[in-house]
Amino acid sequence: MNASGMQPPIRGCQVMLLSLSDRTEEAKVQFVVAAQKKAMKKLIEAVEKGGFSKKSALLDEEKRFDWFEQCSRIFMWTPLGESNTMGETLAMRDLKDYLEFVDPDDEFSHVSDQVCRESVSRGMSEVRKAMKKVGSSGNWSLEEKEPLTVTSYRHLTPDELERLRGSAPEEWLALIPEAPPAVTYSTLLMLSTA
């Protein structure tokens, strides 16, 4: 969502899996993201150049949200049998913070709610309640935890694509390829010249 309350179009988006973590790598989470070719190229370049560094994210509030802004849609992805409560909680906190950053007056609460439901399977009010609950649990403080940053990216495997088809929001179905794209020299060249 942008400051006008609009979600970017998904037509023509590419799908990729991003891994995020905190500096200690205790908190890890993955998101399937849909982004336009140009935005996907920026994401890939930023990861490869270390552009999503924790230091820059901590010093510059807007930098913290770069990866959100490049993506048309995001969907938290938990590999089978794996879960990282801290990572998932920090991801929800970062998403909530991003939505509050682009819409500080909560003018587009219905869009924020939709984005949260599609991204983390909870509405904005549920995310806020979960953050308060974690904040009062005493195990660890959300305020003390730095933002998650993108650490790697990759295409989804055929098995992951099949699983995604069964769990992603309906509008994603047109974006999910039957098989992962072949990574060839010409594919890399196309991405680098786009």
Q: Return the pLDDT at 169.
A: 84
What would the mean pLDDT of 85-91 be, rounded to a whole number?
90
Residue 72, CA distances (Å) to 10, 14, 22, 126 in order: 6, 10, 23, 22
Give the least confident one: 2-16, 80-94, 169-183.
Answer: 169-183
The position carrying tokens 């959100």 is 68
pLDDT of 99 > 90? The answer is yes
Residue 96 or residue 187, greater confidence: 96
More confident residue, 133 or 92: 92
CB within 8 Å of 71: residues ≥ 6 apart: 33, 34, 35, 39, 43
Residue type, 118: E
Are 71 and 34 a contacting pair, CB within 8 Å? yes
Helix (H, G, I), strand (E, B) or coil at 78: coil
Helix (H, G, I), strand (E, B) or coil at 167: helix
Q: Residue 136: what pLDDT?
A: 59
Distance of CA 7 to the CA centre of its chain: 14
Phi–psi pair at 55, nearest 5 degrees: -60, -50
CA angle 186, 77, 176 (to 5 degrees): 45
Burial of residue 191, with CB atoms counted within 10 A of its CB: 0-12 exposed, 13-18 middle, 19 or more buried: middle
The answer to whether 10 and 171 are in contact (CB under 8 A) is yes
Structure token pair of residue 77: 């992805």
Q: Of the given ranges (102-111, 123-132, 182-191), which has the lowest mean pLDDT?
A: 182-191
**Does the pLDDT of residue 126 top 60, yes or no?**
yes
Stated pTM of the model: 0.82
**What integer pLDDT is reported at residue 59 of this predicted model?**
41
Quote the Cα angle for 29-99-146, to 5°.
45
pLDDT (average), residues 89-117: 93
Using alpha carbons, select from 11, 136, 165 the residue that is nearest to residue 75.
165
Average pLDDT over residues 13-27: 90
Express as a percent the part of the chain with pLDDT over 70: 78
CB 58 within 8 A of CB 148: no
- Is residue 56 over pLDDT 50? no
